[in-house]
C-alpha cells in the first residue's frame, strides 16, 4: 500500500484554522507531531509551555471546542516550514471583547512540531 503524501504547510494551516473556526477539535487530531511543543499566550508574562502531542492536542481541543470563543484567522505568511499566522479572538459582542494575536507555527512532514502564540497588549 502506498503511503499518503504529507500535507503541505498551507494545508496544515488551513485545517488548523478550520478547527478553531468550526469549533471542531477532531480536525486537529492528525495535525500534531509526537514531539509537538506549544507556548500559549497566557498566563503572563511568559505563557504556559506544553510538550508532546497529547498535551498540545488537549490544550488546542479545549480552545477549539469552546463556542464562547471565536477565532478569525487572517491570511498567514509562509516562510519555508514556518507560518506566521495572525488572528483575532472574540469572546463577547462588546467593542473591547477581542484581542489580536499571532501564532508562529512550524510544520515538518505535514505535522505541527512547534507553535508559539503572542498577543498585542
Q: pLDDT tens for residues 49-86?
A: 999 999 999 999 999 999 999 999 999 999 999 999 99
Chain Cα centroid distance, residue 35: 15
Annotate 18-87 with three-state secondary structure.
HHHHCCCHHHHCCCEEEEEEEECCCCCCCCCEEECHHHHHHHHHHHHCCCCCEEEECCCEEECCEEEEEE
- CATH of 9-97 among 3.20.20.20, 3.10.450.50, 3.10.50.40, 1.20.20.10: 3.10.450.50
Per-residue pLDDT band for 6 (boundaries 50, 70, 90) equals: confident
C-alpha to C-alpha distance for 23 and 46, rounded to whole angstroms: 26
The answer to whether residues 47 and 39 touch, using CB atoms and an 8 Å cutoff, is yes
Domain coordinates in residue numbering, the chain: 9-97
Q: Tell me whether strands 111-119 and 32-39 are parallel, antiparallel or unpaired.
A: parallel
Q: Output DSSP code: residue 13.
A: H
Q: Which residues of 81-107 are buried (b: 16+ CB within 10 A; e: fewer)?
A: eebebbbebeeeeeeeeeeebbbebbb
Task: Say what the pLDDT of residue 4 is.
Answer: 56
Q: If pLDDT is split at 50, 70 and 90, which confidence band does 12 have?
A: very high
Amino acid at each position: 500500500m502506498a503511503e499518503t503524501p504529507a500535507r503541505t504547510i498551507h494545508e496544515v494551516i488551513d485545517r488548523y484554522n478550520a478547527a478553531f473556526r468550526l469549533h471542531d477539535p477532531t480536525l486537529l487530531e492528525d495535525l500534531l507531531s509526537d514531539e509537538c511543543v506549544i507556548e500559549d499566550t497566557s498566563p503572563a508574562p511568559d505563557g504556559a509551555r506544553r510538550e508532546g502531542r497529547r498535551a498540545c492536542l488537549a490544550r488546542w481541543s479545549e480552545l477549539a471546542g469552546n463556542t464562547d470563543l471565536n477565532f478569525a484567522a487572517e491570511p498567514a505568511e509562509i516562510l519555508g516550514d514556518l507560518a506566521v499566522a495572525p488572528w483575532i479572538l472574540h469572546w463577547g459582542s462588546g467593542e473591547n471583547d477581542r484581542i489580536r494575536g499571532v501564532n508562529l507555527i512550524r510544520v515538518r512532514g505535514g505535522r505541527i512540531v512547534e507553535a508559539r502564540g503572542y498577543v498585542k497588549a
